[in-house]
């Protein structure tokens, strides 16, 4: 499944999609950035409630396909611009992390 | 605001005895602003990609350097980062003039952190910084002196 397809799925909403055709090949859930840094893998969907600009750096370095902000969290000021500039896709959802991850798991 | 500045230099290596050709990247890590933390690591990742370095090595260098960068911002008001690319390995040298590390053994323990609450609320301070740096590199050397600063040298082979 591509990031664009996930963003269009019911329950998800695009925040910014500079690379919409990236394919999602798995997922990772976590809010501690160092933990995520060490474990998230290339092309995964990273589900988190963390919304500060450092998520863009972590996503870039881990090369995840998309950041999925759960619990209706919105990105802090400047995150969208940074993500656009770095080619980081961000999607948001009102679902809790567990439900979002479970649904993504069935979709990909 | 002082931002991470990068200078790139290609030439003969002065490190070690092999004297092979190397490429160096140097960065000033801004210690005053968390919103710019990680800039040097992101730039290094881009540079290493352009040099055709294997993806796994780039990932390991990026993670280790980002953790180091964050540590320098949290604890040492910034510092300097140097990345040297050899034919078979990458060396990362991070140096700061911060307070130094009082107990390296404790600092290396997963979950141990002295980061303040405001840093933790940003998702850092999980006590994974130094352990991640060690895990993702082949060699890591810590030189620290209380009140003077810390220099960490890491090597990633590929």
3-state secondary structure of B92: strand
Which secondary-structure segment (H or E) carries B149? Answer: strand B149-157
pLDDT for the residue numbered B6: 58
Reference B53, options B16, B88, B2; nearest CA is B88
pLDDT for the residue numbered B5: 56
Looking at the predicted structure, is the pLDDT value of residue B44 above 70? yes
| Domains within chain B, CATH numbers bracketed | 5-157 (3.30.565.10)
Looking at the predicted structure, is the pLDDT value of residue B3 above 60? no
According to DSSP, the residues that pair with B11 across neighbouring strands are B22
What is A3-107's CATH superfamily?
A: HprK N-terminal domain-like (3.40.1390.20)
Helices (H), B77-128: 104-107, 117-120
Phi first, then psi: what are they for B86, rounded to 5°? -105, 180
pLDDT band at B152 (very low <50, low <70, confident <90, very high): very high
pLDDT for the residue numbered B13: 40
Looking at the predicted structure, is the pLDDT value of residue A51 above 90? yes
Residues of B in contact with A87 (CB under 8 A): none
How far apart are alpha carbons A46 and A101 in whole angstroms?
9
Q: Where are the domains of chain A?
A: 3-107
3-state secondary structure of B93: strand
Closest residue to A38, CB basis, from B34, B42, B63:
B63
Percent of chain B with pLDDT over 90: 66
pLDDT per position as a tens digit, B101-125: 999 999 999 889 998 888 888 888 8
pLDDT for the residue numbered B16: 43
How far apart are alpha carbons B40 and B26 in whole angstroms?
9
pLDDT band at A104 (very low <50, low <70, confident <90, very high): very high
Percent of chain B with pLDDT over 70: 87
How many angstroms separate the CA of residue A91 from the nearest CA in chain B? 19
A60 and B42 Cβ atoms separated by less than 8 Å: yes
Enumerate residues 105 to 124 of chain B having a beta carbon within 8 A of any beta carbon in chain A. 122-124
How far apart are alpha carbons A104 and A100 in whole angstroms?
6
Token pair for residue A11?
Answer: 């329950």
Complex ipTM value: 0.75
A53-79: average pLDDT: 94
pLDDT band at B2 (very low <50, low <70, confident <90, very high): very low
CB of B38 within 8 Å of a chain A CB? The answer is yes
CA B120 to chain CA centroid, Å, is 20
pLDDT for the residue numbered B1: 40
């Amino acid at each position: 499944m591509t990031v664009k397809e996930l963003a269009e799925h019911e329950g998800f909403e695009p925040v910014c999609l500079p690379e919409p055709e990236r394919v999602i090949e798995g997922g990772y859930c976590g809010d501690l950035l160092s933990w995520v840094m060490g474990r998230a893998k290339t092309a995964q969907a990273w589900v988190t409630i963390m919304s500060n600009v450092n998520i863009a750096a972590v996503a870039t370095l881990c090369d995840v396909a998309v950041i999925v902000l759960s619990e209706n969290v919105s990105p802090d000021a400047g995150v969208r611009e940074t993500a656009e500039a770095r080619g980081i896709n961000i999607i948001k959802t009102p679902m809790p992390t567990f439900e979002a991850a479970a649904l993504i798991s069935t979709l990909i | 605001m002082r931002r991470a500045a990068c200078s790139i230099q290609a030439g003969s290596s002065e490190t070690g005895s092999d004297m092979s050709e190397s490429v160096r990247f140097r960065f000033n890590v801004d210690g005053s602003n968390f919103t710019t933390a990680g800039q040097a690591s992101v730039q290094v990742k881009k540079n290493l990609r352009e040099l055709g370095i294997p993806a796994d090595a780039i990932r390991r260098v990026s993670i280790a350097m980002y953790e180091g960068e964050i540590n320098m911002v949290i604890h040492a008001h910034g510092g300097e980062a140097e990345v040297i690319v050899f034919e078979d390995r990458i060396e990362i040298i991070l140096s700061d003039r911060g307070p130094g590390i009082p107990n390296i053994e404790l600092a290396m323990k997963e979950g141990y952190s002295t980061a303040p609450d405001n840093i933790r609320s940003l998702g850092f301070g999980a006590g994974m910084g130094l352990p991640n740096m060690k895990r993702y590199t082949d060699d890591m050397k810590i030189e620290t002196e209380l009140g003077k600063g810390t220099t960490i040298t890491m090597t990633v082979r590929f």
